[in-house]
A and B are shown apart, each in its own frame.
Chain A
Amino acid sequence: MQRLKTAMIEKATALLTSGEVSKVLGWKKGELGFDVEPAVFTSVDSLVDFTYDAFCGANLSKYLVEESKKEGKILVFLKPCDSYSFNQLIKEHRIKKENVYTVGIECQGKVDPYKLKENGIEFVTDASETVDTVTVNGKEFKKEEIILGKCLTCTKKLLSYDDVISFNEKREPSLDRFEMVKKLEAMTADERYAFWKDQLSNCIRCNACRNVCPACTCTKCVFDNDNSGIASKANSDSFEEKMFHIIRAFHVAGRCTDCGECSRVCPQHIPLHLLNRKFISDIDRLYGEYQAGEDTESKGPLTNYTTGDVDPSDVFGGK
């Protein structure tokens, strides 16, 4: 990890010095070791705070929607999952590609601070990692014990980059991403209803899931628009929890790259990705396998059709 970080800083320094880019989008060191934050660096000097380690879980692609429209070219470091979001945003014309210099970087799963805390670590003094393990404060963890839920099932490759920094160390996913979706599908309707009722009742409508989502880039969200008739700042009835989450997931259906940011940021740990993955699994099953963000050209499953598509009433196998 250290050598990756060194190579990244070298790259950033070189491009900033040569004037090819004027800004760098990366991660900045925090106060507790694991609380790294996305940041824009504008000078070689400011790169002292630059970091890349096992805690850089945040997806940087969405910041480019704003940053790429500003003056000057920006260098961005994209993890494999970020590169899918980047592609999807290019497809939707949300990023000015000519203003972005992308460097793909390798990733072997990022640590979940909550899981770290469960293991008694709240302050990271030093951390290092190999493909399958992370060592934090001298304590070694297996990756599958400690990484973010979104990383456990990751099969993403690096796509779309001007340059790449990689030492060809790839971690294999430890879980099938549809496992939990299948488990839920196998339950009875009453069980599913109870499951989601508990989960969604925790929702505080902070909108973190929406605001972090690289597919949610509407300038004005319908839930913020007073004229829409459904704008609400709080769930005053359990209906609103369901409405918000169904519509949020539906609106990104076919465009969601399964980057998992929604579940990472939820303060109440609601497994929101299970809603998105339900759509992904249905799309795969009904309309053929489709991975959003894999390319920048293809038509999405919901902006496409075939004359032989299944009828809504036949989705469950007959009326």
Chain B
Amino acid sequence: MQEMNNEKKPLIVAFCCNWCSYAGADLAGSSRLSYPADVKIIRVPCSCRVNPMFILKAFQRGADGVIICGCHPGDCHYTTGNYYARRRMSLLFSMLDYLGIERERTRVEWVSAAEGAKFSAVMNDFAGKIAELGENKRLEDLRCKD
């Protein structure tokens, strides 16, 4: 444990919707497009399944960045799910910013099943930004750090 802590890589949690973005990640893989290994994908039925609590808990458990990926607006498998997610996340991210938590640590991206390349590009870009920001300090739970 100790040695690993010394050179801590940023940990990223990506909530991906089952129908588009998760398939997009698959495509990225099968197309041999790379994205950082520190991105941990959690498959959700729809981007609107993501409760604000999931995001906070991800940070609590040691995530340095959280990204939510869903179908493009208009293409939701359940017709409207991502529209609701869009509103919720807009408000939540704005609230995190209001509390002084770096706004770059959270992001929403629309990635379709055909966009393997976009998935890889988005994750590389996001991981880069998070690496610049460094460790999540403002929304950490010290009890989960040792």
Tell me the A residues contacting B by CB distance below 8 Å.
184-185, 189-197, 222, 229-230, 236-240, 242-243, 246-247, 249-250, 253, 275, 278-279, 282-283, 286-287, 301-307, 309-313, 315-316
Instruction: Report the bound CA distance from A282 to B92 in whole Å.
Output: 10
Instruction: Report the bound CA distance from A250 to B95 in whole Å.
Output: 9
- Overall SS of chain B's interface: helix
CB <8 Å contact, A305 and B90: no
Tell me the B residues contacting A by CB distance below 8 Å.
52-53, 56-57, 59-60, 73-74, 80, 83-84, 86-103, 106-109, 138-143
Tell me whether A283 and B91 are in contact in the complex, defined as CB-CB below 8 angstroms, given that A237-B143, A239-B141, A305-B80 are known contacts.
yes
Instruction: Report the bound CA distance from A278 to B97 in whole Å.
Output: 11
Instruction: Report the bound CA distance from A253 to B142 in whole Å.
Output: 29
CB <8 Å contact, A193 and B99: yes
- Overall SS of chain A's interface: helix
Q: Which residues of B contact A313 (CB under 8 A)?
A: 107-109
| Minimum C-beta distance from A209 to chain B (A) | 16
Q: Which residues of A contact B139 (CB under 8 A)?
A: 239, 242
Starting from the known contacts A247-B53, A286-B90, A315-B94, 8 additional A-B residue pairs (CB-CB under 8 Å) come to: A230-B57, A242-B56, A247-B56, A275-B98, A282-B90, A302-B88, A302-B91, A309-B87
Q: Which residues of B contact A250 (CB under 8 A)?
A: 52, 91-92, 95
Q: Which residues of A contact B60 (CB under 8 A)?
A: 239, 243
Q: Which residues of B contact A246 (CB under 8 A)?
A: 52, 56, 92, 95-96, 99
CB <8 Å contact, B97 and A316: yes
CB <8 Å contact, B100 and A196: yes
Which one, B57, B84, B106, B138, contacts A305 given CB within 8 A? B84
Q: Which residues of A contact B83 (CB under 8 A)?
A: 305-307, 309
CB <8 Å contact, A243 and B103: no
Chain A residue, CB-CB nearest to B107: A313
Shortest beta-carbon contacts, A-B, top 3: A193-B100, A305-B83, A192-B100
Instruction: Report the bound CA distance from A171 to B138 in whole Å.
Output: 42
Chain B residue, CB-CB nearest to A189: B100
Chain B residue, CB-CB nearest to A301: B87
Chain B residue, CB-CB nearest to A249: B95
Instruction: Report the bound CA distance from A190 to B97 in whole Å.
Output: 10
Q: Which residues of A contact B96 (CB under 8 A)?
A: 246
| Minimum C-beta distance from A39 to chain B (A) | 37
Instruction: Report the bound CA distance from A279 to B95 in whole Å.
Output: 7
CB <8 Å contact, B98 and A302: no
CB <8 Å contact, B84 and A302: yes
Tell me whether A189 and B102 are in contact in the complex, defined as CB-CB below 8 angstroms, given that A301-B87, A316-B97 are known contacts.
yes
CB <8 Å contact, A193 and B101: yes
Q: Which residues of B contact A287 (CB under 8 A)?
A: 87
Which one, B91, B103, B107, contacts A253 given CB within 8 A? B91
Tell me whether A311 and B108 are in contact in the complex, defined as CB-CB below 8 angstroms, given that A236-B143, A237-B143, A305-B87 are known contacts.
yes
Chain A residue, CB-CB nearest to B108: A312
Q: Which residues of A contact B89 (CB under 8 A)?
A: 312
